[in-house]
Amino acid sequence: MKKVLFTATVDSHILAFHIPFLKYFKEKGYEVHVATNGDEEIPYCDKKIKISFERSPFKLNNLKAINQLKKVVNKEKYDIIHTHTPMGSVVTRLASKQARKKYNTRVIYTAHGFHFFKGAPKKNWLLFYSVEKYLSKYTDTLITINKEDYELAKNKFKKCKDVQYVPGVGIDENKFNIKMTLKEKQELRKSIGLSKDDFVLIYVARMDKNKNQGFLIEVMKELVPNYPNIHLLLVGPDELNGIYQEQAKEVDRNVHFLGFRKDIAKLMKISDIAVSSSLREGLPVNIMEAMFSELPVVATDARGVRDLIENKKNGYIVEPNNMDEFIWYISQLYDKKELREKLSKNNIKKTEEYKLEKIIKQMGKIYKGKQNEKQNKKNN
């Protein structure tokens, strides 16, 4: 029986993004293994392996993880290894370099947004770019999820012979194609402290410095005096130990910290606008989910965001921390229902290329090596 291994630093990454691809391999008759530094049960996984991955590149546990994973890889002799997350992928490629020659194991790496990009700090280029360039020679297929990363990888990582562009991990449209009655919407609103007449902004992202929720809180401080019924839902786990909650005390009636939720699609349905204040993105799933939910989007400019939002067509892109412009677009959308409807319609049209069904089909070709064969024919 053929075997495939998926690796990532943490379980949450696999659970959030890769279950449909584990299912794909199960249906193709593969034995499916998953390696993370976690203990959660993973659907469609035949064997769960705990490896001492650490998110920080400076943790010595990652050296231990290389040896742990090398033993597993040599024992299992995988046909395919698909690796994700920055440090998970560093460890995996170092642990698998001999297996590529010994067992013809194919190593596929999906970069969910390089840490080096236009405008990134120099230290990111010195550390992360150097590491990725070195490891590209141990990568059989490198998948990038936004156009900026794709162009960079094609031009700079010449030792990887197969660089592919796949627009994200795919969105299951059925999850967002849900119907809610007016009563259900009002009940959900009431459960989180909203009335039927409130105007709702939503941002789905873990709370950290990169996601930059503090910017949105300051935006709300400016908006609330003029629009008392405007509310902001911040959905996602708090990784900053209450810093944003403290910042929002002045507008705590209008800013709602909802933590981790499993009803994102329903929360989108009771919202009027999706917002994003992120400073760095790969290809933001939260914006794709907003597009599938037919919401207009106002977002700060970041790589990946530009792939999804055509400025003034299906949303608005604002320079990071340009609060005046961000507030202006929110106020325009608040005042003009027809403008919201126009942007929403354009969003529906743009979702086609990000549907899960289409992404799985594209990934299937990559797993079979057909994309690689096609590229080789072009080059010959």
Task: Read off the pLDDT of residues 78-132 as tens digits, 9 standing for 90 and up.
Answer: 999 999 999 999 999 999 999 999 999 999 999 999 988 888 788 888 888 999 9
| Residue-level pLDDT at 126 | 85
pLDDT at 378 over 80: no
**Rounded to the nearest 5°, which phi and psi values hold at 118?**
-60, 120
Candidates 112, 120, 115; CA nearest to 142 is 112
Among 37, 55, 38, 43, smallest CA distance to 17 is for 43
* Residue of higher predicted confidence among 22 and 353: 22
State the amino acid at position 120 in one-letter form.
A
The token duo for 7 is 């690796």
According to the model, what pLDDT value does residue 121 have? Answer: 83
Under 8 Å between Cβ of 195 and 205: no
- Confidence bin at 375 (pLDDT 50/70/90): very low
- Report whether pLDDT(237) > 90: yes
Residue 367's alpha-carbon distances to 81, 88, 106, 145, in angstroms, are 10, 20, 9, 16
**How many other C-beta atoms lie within 10 A of the C-beta of residue 186?**
15
How does the average pLDDT of the chain come out, rounded?
A: 94
| Spans of all domains in the chain | 3-170+356-379, 173-354
Nearest to 132 by CA among 168, 158, 106: 158
Q: Which amino acid, one-letter code, is at 178?
A: I
Helix (H) or strand (E) holding 110: strand 106-111
Closest CA to 34 of 17, 20, 15, 49: 49
Q: Report the alpha-carbon distance of residue 193 to residue 211 in Å, rounded.
A: 24
CATH code of the domain made up of 3-170+356-379: 3.40.50.2000
pTM exceeds 0.85, yes or no: yes
| Domains 3-170+356-379 and 173-354 fall in the same CATH topology | yes
pLDDT in tens, 179-211: 999 999 999 999 999 999 999 999 999 999 999
Q: Is the pLDDT of residue 380 over 80?
A: no
Cα 203 to chain centroid distance, Å, stands at 14
Mean pLDDT, range 328-349, rounded to an integer: 94
At residue 376, the pLDDT reads 44
pLDDT, position 373: 47
Fold classification of 173-354 (topology level): Rossmann fold (3.40.50)
- Which residues are bridge partners to 99 per DSSP? none
154-178 burial, b if ≥16 CB within 10 A, otherwise e? eeebeebbbbbbbbbbbbeeeebee
Q: How confident is the model at residue 370 (pLDDT cuts 50, 70, 90)?
A: low
Interatomic CA distance for residues 304 and 149, integer angstroms: 9
> Rg of the Cα trace of the chain?
22
183: left (phi over 0), alpha (psi -120 to 50) or beta: alpha
User: Which of the residue ranges 29-43, 121-135, 230-244 would you say has the lowest mean pLDDT?
Assistant: 121-135
* Alpha helices by DSSP H, 248-336: 264-269, 285-292, 305-308, 323-335
